[in-house]
Every structure is written in C-alpha cells, then in structure tokens.
A and B are shown apart, each in its own frame.
Chain A
Amino acid sequence: MKSEFFEKGWIVLSESQNININGVNVIAKPNQTVLELLSDSSIEIPQVCYHPSLGAIETCDTCIVSVNGELVRSCSTRVKEGDVIDTATSDVKEAQTIAMDKILYNHELYCTVCDYNNGGCEVHNTVKAMKINHQRIPFDQKPYEVDDSNPFYRYDPDQCILCGRCVEACQDVQVTETLTIDWERQEPRVIWDKDVPINESSCVSCGHCSTVCPCNAMMEKGMEGEAGFLTGIAKNTLRPMIEMTKNVETGYGSILAISDMEAAMRDEKIEKTKTVCTYCGVGCSFDVWTKDREILKIEPHAEAPANGISTCVKGKFGWDFVNSEERLTKPLIREGDSFREAEWEEALSLIAQKFTEIKKDHGADALSFISSSKTTNEESYLMQKLARSVIGTNNIDNCSRYCQTPATVGLFRTVGYGGDAGSIEDIQKAELVLIIGSNTSESHPVLSTRVKRSQKLNGQKVIVADLREHEMAERSDLFVRPRAGTDMVWLSAVTKYIIDQGWADEQFLKENVNGLEDFIKNLEKFTIEYAVKTTGISRENLIQIAEMIHESKTVSALWAMGVTQHLGGSDTSTAISNLLLVTGNYTKPGAGAYPLRGHNNVQGAGDFGSSPDNLPGYQTVTDPESRKKFENAWGVTLPEVPGLNNHEMVEGIHEGKLKAMYLKGEDMGLVDSNINYVQAAFEKLDFFVVQDIFLSRTAQFANVVLPASPSLEKDGTFTNTERRIQRLYKALEPLGESKPDWQIIIDIANRLGAGWNYTHPSEVMEEAAKLMPLYSGVTYERLEGYKSLQWPVAADGTDSPLLYTDGFPFPDGKARLYPVDWTPPLEFPVEYDIHVNNGRLLEHFHEGNMTYKSAGISEKTPEVFLEVSPDLAAERGLNDGTLVRLSSPYGNVKVKCHITDRVKGKEVYLPMNDTGEAAINLLTSSYADKDTDTPAYKETRAKLEILKEEGTNPLPKINHRYGNPQPQIGIQVEKKWARKDYIFPGDIVKKERNQHG
C-alpha cells in the first residue's frame, strides 16, 4: 500500500510541471511538447509540417520558439519543469520568418487560381497568420516536370515545400514505404521507389500523401481544374495569369484577401458530406466533396474514429460507379427474352400481386428474403420486418452467411457476444498480433496499417498463419504455412502446450472461466507430434508460437475467411477464442478476438435480425419472450420456427418448396459457392425480385429488378467490425428514378397493407433501439457527424469500446471453454491435384461490379489472374499470360496465369474479381461449415490444363505488385540538416545578433 501511495505521489509530482510562457505561469501535462502546450493556449505558433496524426516531422522550422533563451523547434521539444518559454521576441519572429521564407522559395503563391485554395492550405494560412508580405529569397522553379502518371493523384515538384508529411504518412502510417525525399541531390524532391514515375512504383494509391499534403503539391486528380472558379482555365492562359497575379502583388496581404474571398465563394458550389465507406468492415468515415453530381475528392479527417486520416485506394478513389452510365435508373420487368423499363407503379403492383398470390397458394414459407451486408442497419431491419411481420416467414438471411457466421458462433459459444472484443486501437496496442487466415493488408487495408505501424515503430510482434505469403506474412516475425484446413489442430496443440507448460493464466481462468476440466480432457489428443503430422508446421515453430504468446502481456487474434470458410469453420473460430481464454487475453486493452468483418455492414446486418433464427439484437425467434416483445411492438403474430438460411434456400428452391425470393444488394449468383447450382435454382423460381444498383449477374435471373441507390445517395447507419455504429449522410440525390433501399422496402410493405409511415431512417433506428438491448441508447443525435458508439450501448448512451470488462454475458458472468474437434477438409479424387485458394485483391471489391467502373483501378488491375508458383509453372510449362482451364467436380474456369512466389507448390490463388469465365465460384462446392452452412470456399481442388501457352500478362507492369518499396523510418530529416546549404534559422538569428551586438 505504501509503495502505491508513494508511486501515486510521484506521478502527481511528475504531472505538475510549472512552466512560464511569455511571463505567465502555467502547468503542463507530463511528456507534452512545447507545441502541444502552446496549442492548448490561445497563442498561435506557425506549424507547416506538423500534423497531429503524424507528429513532429521537424522539416519546416516555422514553429521555432525560445525555451530558456535557446531557439528550438517547439514540435519536438518536450517541456521540463521550470522551462521559460518565449514566443514573442523579435528573435523568435525573425527565425520563424527565415523558415517561412525558405518554404516560399519552394512554393509559388497563386492561390486564387489554385485548386487547393479551399481554406485548408497550410502555406496560405501560415503566410497570412505571420503577416508575411514579401519573400526575401524569390521563388525558383525546380528542374522537374509534374508527375501525372498515376490515374488518381499528381505530384508537382514546383509546388512541393519538402515538408515530408507525405513521406511520413507513406512510410509510417500506411507503411507501404514507397515515398522518400532524396535529400542528396541539388534540388531535393519526393521520389517513388528508386526514382521511377509514380505509376510504375510500389504505390498502392491509398491516397494518404494527397490527404496530408499541406498544399497543392500532391493533389487528387478529381480536384484538378474543378475546385476553383478560375482553375479550369486552359494552361496557356493560366501561366500569364499567375505571372500577372504575382506582378500585381503589393505584398501578399491583398492577394490573400482576394483568394480568401474566392475560397469562401467555393463553399457555395462544393458540398462536403460525411459518409462511411462501403468497401470493407473497417468502417472508414470521411467527407466526400461533391460539385453537382461530380465527386471531387474524399477528404479524411483526423477525428474519424476507425480510420483517422487513413484510406485505401477503393475508399479514396473508387467512387466512379456512383455516376456510371450502367446504373439502373428505372424498374425493369422481364418480358420474353429481355427486360422492359417500367414505372415504379407497375413494378410495385406486380410484386404485391405475386407475393400475395404465392403466399395464398403455397404459404408464407414459400417466400424468402435476402438482405444485404452492404445496405444500412435500418434497411436490414426493415427487410426482416417485411419478411416476419408482413409476409410471416423467418426465411430471411444475408451474406454474412458466406463469410463470418462461423466466427460469430465461435464467440457466442465461448464469450457471449458475436463481435470484436475491442477496438482497432486495441489491435494497435497489442504486444502480439496473431493473424490467422486473413490477407489483412488487401482485405482490411486500413486496419492492417495499424499493425504494420505498431510492428515497425513500437516493437509489436506479428505471427501469421496462412497458405499464401501475402504482405502481412512477408512482414511478420513468424510466418507458418499450415496445410489447408488444419488451423484448428495447431491452435489446439499450442493451447495444450501452453497449459502443459503451466503458462495458462490460472487466476483469469479461476475468476472468469467455466469448463476448464472438460476442455483439458478434450485437448489431450492435440499433442505437438500430432499437430506436426497434421499441419506440416515444424515442432520448433509450434513451440515458438506458444512461447511468443506466453511472453506477450497482450495478444489480439485476427482471423477471416481462411478460418471460417471450411467444414469446421465454427470450430476453428472457437479454438481461437479458447486459446485467448486460456491465456487470459480477454477483458484487457490490447487483447481479444477480432474476426475481421468483410463488408461494411456484415456486423449490422446480423445485429438487425437479417437471419433465420434471430430477431434484431440476437433475440432468438424460438424464445417466446423475445417474440412477444416484437409482436407487441409490431402488432402482429410472428412465426416461431426458424427459417431457411441462404444455403438452405437454394436447396429449398431445387426441392420446389420455395417459390419466390426478394433479394437486395447481393450478387448471390456469383458470390455463393457452386454458382452453377445456385443459378440453376434461380431459374426455377416462380417469382424473383432483385434490388441492385446494376444489372448484376443475379439480377439477370429476376422477374423484376428494382433500381436502388448506393450509400452516397442515402442516410442511415452502418456497424463496423469493431461494433462501431456510424452515420452516413446523403451526399447526392438518387440517380434517375432509383431509390434508397429503405424507401423501396417501405413501398412494397405498404402495397401489402403494412401501413408503415417512416419518413426517415432515424425513425427506423428509434423503433429498433427500443427493441434491441444492444442498441438501447443509440440515437441519431448521439451519432451526429463523426461521433460514433460501440455496442452494447446503454440507455444513457454509454457505449462499450472494450467488451467483457464487467464479466461475460452469461448468467454467472463467466466465459466458457468450449471443447471442439477437428473436421478434416474435403477429400477430392487424386486427379484434382491443385489446391485453389481464393479471396480478395486490394483494389477490387468482390466480383468487381463497382470497382471495375473506376478507370484508374481498371487501368492498373484490368482483369483477374491466377497466381501460380514458380515450381508449378516450371513443372507444367506455364508463363505469365498462359491461358489455363481449372476444372473441379462442380465446374470450370478459364483464366490467365501470373507467376509469383506468393504461392508455393501446387497451391494457386484465384482472386474473386471476375463475373465471367474466371468466376471462382464456378469451381467451389456446396459443402459447408457443419454448424452454420457457411460454404467451404477454401476447400476447393481442381485439375489444370493449358488452353493457350502464349498470352499477355494479365497483370500489367504498372501494377503496384511489381514495385520496389524503400523502407525507412520517417522522413530522415537529419539528412536535410546535414546539407551544406542548411543552417538552422535559430543559428542564423544568433549569428546576426552577435555580429550586430
């Protein structure tokens, strides 16, 4: 006790640092920098290179202040007890002015005709704040051309002030490590890889550099010639105009006043709307800048809770689909061998008539509903409400069945909540990150950057278990390649080894966990020897994994489709959670289970009851109490028997039980497994309604196709992988006669006599929150702007970033160790000798309906390709571009090869981004996880034959995968300081004073 008191006392002492600023005494927080301390006050210090999300970069020198009589950079100087800080002396001002002068030497001020003149330009604002009117060293053009090669952004060396923010972001936030500044050359500049054009480098076009650039040097191409009133002027007129602007200058003051006016005028035509990305489960939020229907740029904000300033190429630049000419703008009705554009009135009447007929003739369970993990929570809620309360069936599901339901089951079995245990922040903090069956940097790009950064800068350890040597594997501290479908075995063996060594967290188990005895008994068979034999991982590696887990105070386990899409997907997920329980890796920051949700609203679609056995909030349909609650609220009697999941629906159609289907926002005909079988089922439906933004492959089988609106055209909420609920706001009006899904569902329900009168999604949330304890305190007001909540949310609005801190949601508050056994993967006849791994690519979303509409993405990644190992290529005589046929017992694909050592031996990788002859699910089977019916996509084998030996490489040389990253930590400002022409402005001032004084 005594020592604790002493310690506390010591902390208090260290906290109270007495500082004197310009003669005023203040108290500083521990470990604060001078700049942070000053930013808390009303004193404004110039800071051009400093960015709160990047920290001190120390290149601009404009933040110089005097600390104890010495001129120092305030961004990198930590305050100490008794410091005397002066920000107002003429020495300070002189030094800051010298620094700013050097910046202006690198940057031409033509603000009024600059696309970046939108109020946020740091150079402009600093010149204004410092009241600089002239520069002593005139601007000089650099001997470099503008690099326009990348389709998404361009670099203008003449405008670049060499602050290094872009490099810092690329090296240490995004950690793609493409950008550096070459400080050695006469005129330094930003370079890509070893000085190649942007488009030929390892740049993944994530957009970090253009987001953090303080001026117009690194700029999104969508902005070019669009943002300003005068910026669209032809180049040959613009140049004299810039010259004139400069000649007219009576000092920057008046010029800046005019450009400020112009910037204010831009607000009239440019709308900035907060939205949430729909490309994966990370839940990046940002502002979208629009001018009429044109999307100028995506502008991330530091306060975005999941991503901060981060984006990936899809979120930053992949929005062309919204204005695609292929968008559906009117309802379509099948007529003979074509669709006919029709009015809403006709389409809705037809749907109501058919639904009513089928229900009358075959019963409510002859109809089925498929909600979407891409649409909003409110829309999922309405879809299941339509199925249950208007039609009267529990035949409702969504595509998380294809990916993450096994993970949810694994968590329900062990810890009680079907969601990530903590936040992305916890993953960032973890001492050890265990990544199993997840291609994180391509499937959850922004989340992966947090791991990459922590590993690079903060000593985080990373273990990757995967078949493929993807980026995370390449970067990991330990990479193991278990045989496909054997993860459950090595996880259990490691767990057993940890228990046998006495490394289990006994106290945690005693206080928080039930079922240890049975669990240990069931583990007996999972010896290290057995695991070595089954998984192919060496004994040393297995023990090393166990040791690394044991030595880490906090372990976060990340997993995805490599775990779940197997016959035993739920069991492997359970084994992961068991391992975390045994090692006490729950309830503390930096630890826990993180199944990475694949789509923006996989979590929300499940939360809001788009599932055959759960009402909203995971309240089961078989529980009379839960049903009663909803029956009272909705004023109807609800069906008590669980409905069909989407796997069973396909069966149901083939069996003739299921006659009609209403599906929204889901290309089930391509993304379900064994699509030949699924499409054959669609052909058998009596009536099929598909709601989408495009005429997807699935929609081609429909009787009625309804034109929906994408996220940018609607209001609502999404729930991301961290259980984080975020609002999206309508940025554009729905295109043509398309409508947001929620409006369409209401229209259909009301045609069927529901009498719903919601006028805005907020009213839907209000109703749902009353019925869902997990969402009790969720209101649109509490989610305004960038505010968010992580469920469970108590009625008073208190949310839960970290789960289980008050016990586990079981009757006695304790978690459960849940014994599971291994289910060996599917066996195929010997002639199917190639294992076909499959999954995502960074730059395409799923089958590519949306991302192929982006000219830039399609230029760099025009088509799908088959990754083939050098060994297999040598054995079969395959080259880059060889066209092959893969045949499984269920179908075949034709695809061109790309030889790479990311894959080994007879394992090939076929990304899922094709809608034609190379669609992966022509090969996959209907076998599924035994507990959830999630298709075993990853248990696919095929035989390979060559169709055409020579062909063009499907992966063009301008793809980032050919690049040569140049890893380094940060900007390496020491190299700048070492230049002969660099003198610290503080030293210049001191020298001048000495000479004069």
Chain B
Amino acid sequence: MAKAINKIQRFELSPEDKRKKDLEEVETALIENKESILELITVVNHMHDRGILSLLNGLFGQGDKVLNVLVKAADKPETTNTLKNLLLMVGTLGTINVKQLEPMLLKINSGIARVAESNETEEKTGYFDLVKSLKDPEINSAITLLMTFLKGMGEDTSGMERNTQLPEDQDLHKRESNTVNGSPSNDK
C-alpha cells in the first residue's frame, strides 16, 4: 500500500560537506584557468598599486547613486557641448587625409621651430622687406602654399555638413540615390 505522500526530506549537505564541495568547485575552476588567473592577479596588483581598485570600489559600492550624480553632472550645457564637440571632431577627423596633411604639418613644425629659435627682436618688417622676402625661396613656397589653402577653404562644403543639412540635401545621400544598386530580378 503506497499512499500518496508529498513530504520531501531534502538532501541537505552538512555545512562542512557543503564547504568542501564548494571549495572543490572553486579549486577545479582555478586549475582549469590557471594561466588567465595568474595573469589576472598581476593586473589586479597593478590596479591596486595605482589606487584604481579603491576608486572602483567606491564607484560600484554606490552604483546607482554615483551614476545618478554622474549623469546629472554630465547633463549640463558645457559638458554636453564638450561631448557634442568631441563627437563632431571625431566625425571630422575621419574625413582628414593624413597623407596630404603630413607634409603640411611638417612645414608648420619647422615654422614653429624657426620662431622658437629667433629671439624676440625690435626688428620690424617693412612693406619693402615683405616684397623683397618673396624672393626668398622658402618664404615664397610657404606663401604659395597658404594661397592654395585659402582657395580650398573658400570652396562650398555645405553639402558635406551632416549637422545642419537635411538628408535629401546631403552629398552622401545624393550620390547614393542617383545610382540604382543593381536591377530588380526578372522572374515571372
């Protein structure tokens, strides 16, 4: 006669056995991941040395509070502007052709070096000196460069602005919409 029963004696591990089992599990995990754990310890040590750990401790310990303060602080015009500028700058940086920029930058560097070398003098450059210095090949090439640059700067780039232009007016958009990306299938 097996009457219906619904009592269950749970299989309870004694605290010692539980501890032993847990330790075994941890031990296995440690051994299985020996390499990465040893490396992690080194990293943690470095973090401890530099005080990063205590910083993070405070941060995580007060998670929501800190985040709240952070977000509220960040949501101020100057901060959001910084972030905004940063995002815009990052976007613009992507469009710069470093290959072309490199010689320019070298030239600017060398100019700056010159300025740094020359001591502040009382010497003044007159109009005549200016015209005369055009003959100096170094100055002449610099002036030509600057004039080309100014020309480029005057070109209309409004079509490339993503910040102010409607999509249909953006070059990017125009270029793509003018081409059919392949033709539709001909199945009947």
A interface residues, Cβ below 8 angstroms from B: 15-16, 21-24, 26-27, 29, 37-38, 40-43, 88, 90, 93-94, 97, 130-134, 233-234, 236-237, 240-241, 243-244, 247-251, 253-254, 330, 332, 334-335, 337-342, 669, 679, 682-685, 688, 695, 697, 700-703
Interface residues of B in 155-188 (CB under 8 A from A): 162-163, 165-168, 170, 172-173, 177-178, 180-188
Q: Which residues on A sit within 8 Å (CB–CB) of B6?
A: 695, 700
Question: Is the pair A338, B5 in contact by a Cβ cutoff of 8 Å?
Answer: yes
Cβ of B80 < 8 Å from any Cβ of A?
Answer: yes
Taking the closest CB of chain B, its distance from the CB of A706, in whole angstroms, is 14
Q: Which residues on A sit within 8 Å (CB–CB) of B182?
A: 41-42
Question: Is the pair B163, A337 in contact by a Cβ cutoff of 8 Å?
Answer: no
Cα-based distance from A608 to B92 in the complex (angstroms): 66
> Which 8 A-B residue pairings sit nearest by Cβ, starting from the closest?
A41-B184, A341-B11, A338-B7, A700-B4, A247-B80, A244-B75, A93-B168, A42-B182
Q: Which of B3, B7, B80, B181 contacts A339 (CB 8 A)?
A: B7
Q: Which residues on B sit within 8 Å (CB–CB) of A133?
A: 162-163, 165, 167
Taking the closest CB of chain B, its distance from the CB of A931, in whole angstroms, is 33
With A237-B64, A339-B9 known to touch, is A248 a contact of B183 (CB < 8 Å)? Answer: no
Q: Which residues on B sit within 8 Å (CB–CB) of A241?
A: 71, 75
Q: Which of B4, B64, B186 contacts A27 (CB 8 A)?
A: B186
Question: Is the pair A40, B11 in contact by a Cβ cutoff of 8 Å?
Answer: no
User: Which of A97, A130, A251, A688 gathers the greatest number of chain B CB atoms within 10 Å?
Assistant: A251
Cβ of B72 < 8 Å from any Cβ of A?
Answer: yes
Dominant SS at the B interface? loop
Cα-based distance from A233 to B178 in the complex (angstroms): 44
Q: Which of B81-89, B106-114, B143-151 contacts A (4 or more CB under 8 A)?
A: B81-89
Q: Which residues on B sit within 8 Å (CB–CB) of A130?
A: 167
Q: Which residues on B sit within 8 Å (CB–CB) of A703?
A: 2
Q: Which residues on B sit within 8 Å (CB–CB) of A237?
A: 64, 67-68, 71
**Contact sample, A vs B, 23 pairs, CB 8 Å cutoff:** A21-B180, A27-B187, A27-B188, A41-B184, A41-B185, A93-B167, A94-B168, A131-B172, A134-B166, A233-B64, A237-B64, A240-B68, A241-B75, A248-B84, A248-B87, A250-B163, A254-B87, A330-B11, A337-B3, A337-B5, A342-B11, A683-B3, A697-B4
Question: Is the pair A26, B167 in contact by a Cβ cutoff of 8 Å?
Answer: no
Taking the closest CB of chain B, its distance from the CB of A318, in whole angstroms, is 24
Taking the closest CB of chain B, its distance from the CB of A255, in whole angstroms, is 8
Question: Is the pair A244, B80 in contact by a Cβ cutoff of 8 Å?
Answer: yes
Question: Is the pair A23, B168 in contact by a Cβ cutoff of 8 Å?
Answer: no
Cα-based distance from A26 to B163 in the complex (angstroms): 38
Cα-based distance from A342 to B9 in the complex (angstroms): 10
Cα-based distance from A93 to B184 in the complex (angstroms): 20
Question: Is the pair B83, A248 in contact by a Cβ cutoff of 8 Å?
Answer: yes
Cα-based distance from A330 to B162 in the complex (angstroms): 62
Assuming A27-B187, A338-B8, what are 8 further A-B pairs, CB within 8 angstroms? A38-B184, A90-B168, A93-B167, A234-B64, A237-B64, A237-B67, A695-B6, A695-B8
Q: Which residues on A sit within 8 Å (CB–CB) of B186?
A: 26-27
Cα-based distance from A43 to B3 in the complex (angstroms): 71
Question: Is the pair A332, B8 in contact by a Cβ cutoff of 8 Å?
Answer: yes
Question: Is the pair B80, A248 in contact by a Cβ cutoff of 8 Å?
Answer: yes
Cβ of B131 < 8 Å from any Cβ of A?
Answer: no
User: Which of B9, B11, B184 gathers the greatest number of chain A CB atoms within 10 Å?
Assistant: B184
Q: Which residues on B sit within 8 Å (CB–CB) of A24?
A: 180, 183-184
Q: Which residues on A sit within 8 Å (CB–CB) of B188?
A: 15-16, 27, 29
With A41-B184, A339-B5, A341-B11 known to touch, is A93 a contact of B173 (CB < 8 Å)? Answer: yes
Taking the closest CB of chain A, its distance from the CB of B5, in whole angstroms, is 6
Q: Which of B4, B181, B183 contacts A701 (CB 8 A)?
A: B4
Cα-based distance from A509 to B83 in the complex (angstroms): 80
Q: Which of A43, A94, A240, A697 contacts B181 (CB 8 A)?
A: A43
Q: Which residues on B sit within 8 Å (CB–CB) of A90?
A: 168
Cβ of B115 < 8 Å from any Cβ of A?
Answer: no
Question: Is the pair A700, B87 in contact by a Cβ cutoff of 8 Å?
Answer: no
Residue of B nearest to A241 (CB): B71
Cβ of B74 < 8 Å from any Cβ of A?
Answer: yes
Cβ of B1 < 8 Å from any Cβ of A?
Answer: yes
Taking the closest CB of chain B, its distance from the CB of A328, in whole angstroms, is 9
Taking the closest CB of chain A, its distance from the CB of B122, in whole angstroms, is 48
Taking the closest CB of chain A, its distance from the CB of B113, in whole angstroms, is 36
Question: Is the pair A247, B75 in contact by a Cβ cutoff of 8 Å?
Answer: yes
Question: Is the pair A340, B163 in contact by a Cβ cutoff of 8 Å?
Answer: no
Cα-based distance from A697 to B3 in the complex (angstroms): 11
Cα-based distance from A27 to B3 in the complex (angstroms): 75
Question: Is the pair A240, B72 in contact by a Cβ cutoff of 8 Å?
Answer: yes
Question: Is the pair A243, B75 in contact by a Cβ cutoff of 8 Å?
Answer: yes
Question: Is the pair B11, A26 in contact by a Cβ cutoff of 8 Å?
Answer: no
